Structure 1
Amino acid sequence: MLKYILKRIGFMIVTLFVITVTTFYLMHTVPGDPLGKMAQRNLPPQVRANFEAKYGLNEPVHKQLFMFLKNFFTDGDLGESIIYPGMKVTSTIKKNAPISAKIGFSSLVVGVFIGILFGIIAALNRNRWPDYVIIFLAIVGVTVPSFVLAPLLQYVFSVKLKLLPAYGWGSKLSWVLPMIALSFGTIATYARYMRSSVLEVINSDYILTAEAKGVSYGGVIRKHVLRNAIIPSLTILGGQISGIFAGSFVIEKIFSIPGLGFYLVKSVSDMDFPMIVGTTVFFGFLFLVAQLVVDILYGIVDPRIKLSED
């Protein structure tokens, strides 16, 4: 296990380097002016030249990349925002990522737990009313986007019932509505995956053998069905862990939450090169770590899966 983890960490470093280089070069192929918004302020030529020198925009791309990598590996510095002079990318990530993580992680935990539970209930009650209800909810959860569900939640629980705040951040209840809006789609996804997986596993020969040996119904479900049926659901977990930061931008916007997703999307539209590279490296790192965690969970959930060099 240790050798496998060390090997994967080595691959993660190489992959992260490739992501950084690719993102860096792709940014410079996009037409546009990184100092475009500053140019709207009618900057004098000398001031513009100073900004270009400060951010290294007057240097060839390979030199800009070398300086970025040097600052990153020596000081952990991801650069300074062009649109917000003086704002360090690293400081922005440290400040805003925990906010996105609190909403995203809580919604992911709730969504995965309820989704798996619903999927099991639907599969064990196939072609009966619990199955029909859960399938209907799953279809609604997949088809109704979060930016449609969020205003409906605000209208019902904030305007009509006056139970929860409609927007803002800071109070204990301010994250409840965003969490519900984000978790609804996750519930639907895992309910569908788990239902199909349980139905496939429950008809397997080893399940019939366990029943023939006298294992109780609860024991069959707990020891044999769940551990095997949950593996396909773990596969999609890695991408969703990293997506809790980048994928919550719309919800953060609707509920006026100062999360990291706002800076990610805005940096792309503003061509804020340092912020684009910094957030991309951060999200890439999260995705790679999440995939490693999922692979390790495979071995924990199903001992037949061995993590080795082979």
Structure 2
Amino acid sequence: MLWYIGKRLLQSVLTLFIIITIVFSLLRLMPEEGYLGAAAEKMTPEQQEIILTNLGLRDPLLVQLGNFYMDLFKGELGTSVTYRTDVPVTTIISEKIMYSLLFGLGAVVMSLVIGVPLGILMAHMKGRWLDRLGTGYIVFVVAVPAAVYYIFIQMYVTDLFNLPLLFDEYNKMSWILPLTSMALAPTASYAMWMRRYMVDELNKDYIKLARAKGVKERTLMFRHVMRNAFIPMAQYLPATILFTITGSIYIESLYSIPGMGGLLVDAIQRQDNSVVQGLVLIFSSLGIIGLFLGDLAMALVDPRIKLGKGGSTR
């Protein structure tokens, strides 16, 4: 187990290094005028050159990359250039991250509470009205672009239930629509995979044999089918949860939520590379941690999986 954890940690660090390096290099290919902001038109070429030199943009790319990683090891992500001039990126992100965490955790709880039981009921009532209704919901969420039903919810559900159109941290009713919108996709995902794995288990020979021996249906469902169906689900849960916690960029922009998603959009538009790099680092780290925890969760819920040297791994 320790050998496997060490190996995966090394792979995760290498993957994160590659992602950050690629993003850093691509951002340096963007027009330099973005670093100067709206005041660029009023500056002389000499003044622009001085600012770009002070920002280190005249250094070779490898030197810039090395300086970035040296600051990163010190726990520094640099300072904002255009979003909030000379303010540390860590300060900017710390003001935004709590909103993304709150909405992400709320959406996770909502999707798990609704999605997993829905998938169980769909499998139990396969081919009946609830299964067809749930399947229709899953197909709709998967097939229709998210932006379409997000806007539909904001435009029509707001008037229907007299809910606020935009987010207001002092009005708890304004949390309902963003949370619901954010939970739609993971709810469909949990329901779809739970139903699939349970149907697969119900068709296996050991279930048919247990039924032939007279084992009660409730005992089969709860002690065998659900337990075995949840094993492959455990692989995806950590990654899905962490991705949801980071928040939806579109939803945060749509409802004017001051989270990391909206911050990323603003930072890209203003070409604030330091802020973009910090957010990419956080999002990438969460994604990699989720995949790593998914492997560990598989081993914990299924003792047949051995995560070690010489054992069977995924």
Q: TM-score, normalised by structure 2?
A: 0.87
Deviation at 1:213, TM superposition (A): 4.8
1:9 matched to which residue of 2?
Answer: 9
2:93 matched to which residue of 1?
Answer: 93
Bigger drift between 27-36 and 56-65 goes to 27-36
Q: Provide Cα deviations, 1:134-172, integer angstroms capped at 9, x if missing partner.
A: 11121222234443333433445533432x322123133
SS of residue in 2 equivalent to 1:189: helix
Q: Provide Cα deviations, 1:28-87, integer angstroms capped at 9, x if missing partner.
A: 24556442634544223344234213321111111111111111102x111112222123
2:165 matched to which residue of 1?
Answer: 166
Deviation at 1:107, TM superposition (A): 1.0
CA distance in 1, matches of 2:240, 2:183: 11
1:32–1:46 Cα change, 3 Å: closer
1:215–1:300 Cα change, 3 Å: farther
Amino acid at match of 1:167: L
Contact 2:299 2:306 in 1 (8 A): yes
Amino acid at match of 1:166: L
Q: How does 1:130-141 map to 2 (within 5 A)?
A: 130-141=130-141
CA distance in 2, matches of 1:58, 1:32: 11
CA distance in 1, matches of 2:32, 2:45: 18
Amino acid at match of 1:82: V
1:226 matched to which residue of 2?
Answer: 226
Q: How does 1:28-177 map to 2 (within 5 A)?
A: 28-30=28-30, 33-35=33-35, 37-38=37-38, 40-74=40-74, 76-84=75-83, 85-162=85-162, 164-171=163-170, 172-177=172-177
- Which structure 1 residue ranges, 5 or more long, are not aligned? none
Q: Are 1:240 and 2:240 an aligned pair?
A: yes
Q: Provide Cα deviations, 1:61-118, integer angstroms capped at 9, x if missing partner.
A: 11111111111102x1111122221232222222212211211222123213322221
Bigger drift between 31-40 and 259-268 goes to 31-40
1:43–1:213 Cα change, 3 Å: farther
Contact 1:182 1:248 in 2 (8 A): yes
CA distance in 2, matches of 1:200, 1:27: 46
Amino acid at match of 1:251: I
2:302 matched to which residue of 1?
Answer: 302
Q: Provide Cα deviations, 1:195-214, integer angstroms capped at 9, x if missing partner.
A: 22211111112222333455
SS of residue in 1 equivalent to 2:120: helix
Deviation at 1:292, TM superposition (A): 1.7
1:259 matched to which residue of 2?
Answer: 259
- Which structure 2 residue ranges, 5 or more long, are not aligned? none
Q: Provide Cα deviations, 1:234-279, integer angstroms capped at 9, x if missing partner.
A: 3443443343356611111121100101122333343322122211
Amino acid at match of 1:196: R
CA RMSD of superposed structures (Å): 2.4
CA distance in 1, matches of 2:217, 2:52: 70
SS of residue in 2 equivalent to 1:135: helix
Amino acid at match of 1:83: T
Amino acid at match of 1:117: P
Contact 2:239 2:289 in 1 (8 A): no
CA distance in 2, matches of 1:120, 1:110: 16
Amino acid at match of 2:133: V
CA distance in 1, matches of 2:66, 2:46: 25
Deviation at 1:224, TM superposition (A): 1.6
Bigger drift between 283-292 and 208-217 goes to 208-217
CA distance in 2, matches of 1:299, 1:210: 26
SS of residue in 2 equivalent to 1:174: helix
Contact 2:77 2:90 in 1 (8 A): yes
